[in-house]
Amino acid sequence: MTAGDKGGEHTVVARRAGRASAAVGVVAAVLVAAGCQGGGASGQAAAAPAQAAEASRSAAPATTPKPAELSIVPADDAARVLPSTPVVVRAVSGTLNTVTLTDAQGGSVTGSRDSTGAWTSTQRLRPDTAYTVTARAFGVDGTPSTVTSSFRTLEPKVTATYGILSSGMTVGVGMPVSIQFDSAVTTEAMRAEVERRVSVTTEPKQAGAWGWLDNRQLMWRPADYWQPGTRVTVKAPLTGVQTGPDKWVGNDDEASFTIGSSMVSTVDMKSHTMTVRRGGQVIRTIPVSTGKPGPLTETRYGTKVIIRKEGTVRMDSSTVGIPKGDPDYYNLETKWNLRVTWTGEYLHSAPWSVGAQGSANVSHGCVNMSPANAQWMFENSKVGDVVKFTGSNRAFQPHEGIGVWMYDFAGWKAQSALR
């Protein structure tokens, strides 16, 4: 049933037809009176055929309104509709005029028209959300009508969540755009769908590419380190994207950040020194002690990025596989911490190893510095600054931190799910 069937425009047509029938009754009464007149009323008698013809025309049945017939998918009252389902409204007869698709809070979903006039939504739907379609159309005879239809999307077992790192920050030249999911995007096809929907804008423009470090971390990096001063904007319209069995994203997100000065440090684990360069110029050389040899203690070589400035951190070796009771076990508080891997490598103050700094590697994987050097490094560093490590036999795996610079640019582009 259309809105016109319930009243509105169609009711107006029906009321007009009623008034016409009453008029016919009046005209008929006039004609009967005229027929009783004598021959002296020849003028009126002469007019009777014309009046009778007009009365005949007025007495003809009113035309039945013909509103448009519409097809709407999903069907009215449909439940557990997949968020990926496109909403399609088309005219089976008549002409489709306008379509709106809204949720209960008034949020709208955009759509577009094709060459046949059909309307199709162009955004994914949110999970566990009620939607209403309102379609206005004209019938073949021009009769206007309005049709509404409602449905609800499925409630997933898991709502996938994610974050965009560095939002609103000024970061170093090594920090990529980083979209990190809290759980796996389980298939390559799903990762490809995520990748299709995200975008990056840079000012000034720089060439770059998306890639996955693992099934949770999607990143975009330029071909080389960022140009200082670059403004980076990322958009992630991921509402309604499936990331696993009965797992769907429930929100869009966007962020921007700015690239600060270039600061690139090199830790030479054989010479036990860290050379700090800003804008390509050496500004400090720091004696350090790095991880002692061993599968769990040797510092990883490779190009890393400062992930976070964490200040004071309590370090417990049981979290990296060295349990209490082991001769190498430790549990202590450290200061001026700069995190460079998710696996627990930091640059930090180590007053207990000052005697070895510059001459021997005695740590459990971190870069040890004197309190004064550690404080200086902390105060002069940014998230996203690059720290290169050389001189060990234990390789840094890209997924263990922000490992985008472990690839050349061709290798990085091969990490895309759209290859």
Kindly list the catalytic residues.
348, 366
Do the Cβ atoms of 151 and 134 come closer than 8 Å? no
| Residue in the block written with tokens 């700015």 | 258
Residue with tokens 């309104």: 65
What backbone phi and psi angles, to 5 degrees, belong to 256? -145, 155
The Cα 185–Cα 187 span in angstroms is: 6
How many alpha carbons fall within 13 Å on the CB side of residue 213?
Answer: 24
Give every CB contact of residue 76 below 8 A, 6+ residues apart in sequence.
149, 150, 151
At 42, list the tokens.
Answer: 């020849």
Give the whole-angstrom CA distance, residue 238 versus residue 241. 6
CB 179 within 8 A of CB 159: no
CA distance to 176, 303, 340, 392, 404, per residue, from 398 (Å): 13, 9, 12, 16, 6
Q: Please identify which residue in the block is written with the tokens 């309590």.
A: 314
- CA 135/CA 175 separation, integer angstroms: 47
Q: In what order do the strands lie in the sheet with 231-236?
A: 170-171, 253-259, 231-236, 199-203
Task: List, as one string, the DSSP characters of 50-86.
Answer: HHHHHHHHHTSPPPPP---EEEEESPTTEEEE-TTPP
Strands (E), 182-319: 199-203, 208-212, 217-222, 231-236, 242-244, 247-249, 253-259, 263-268, 273-278, 281-287, 302-305, 308-316
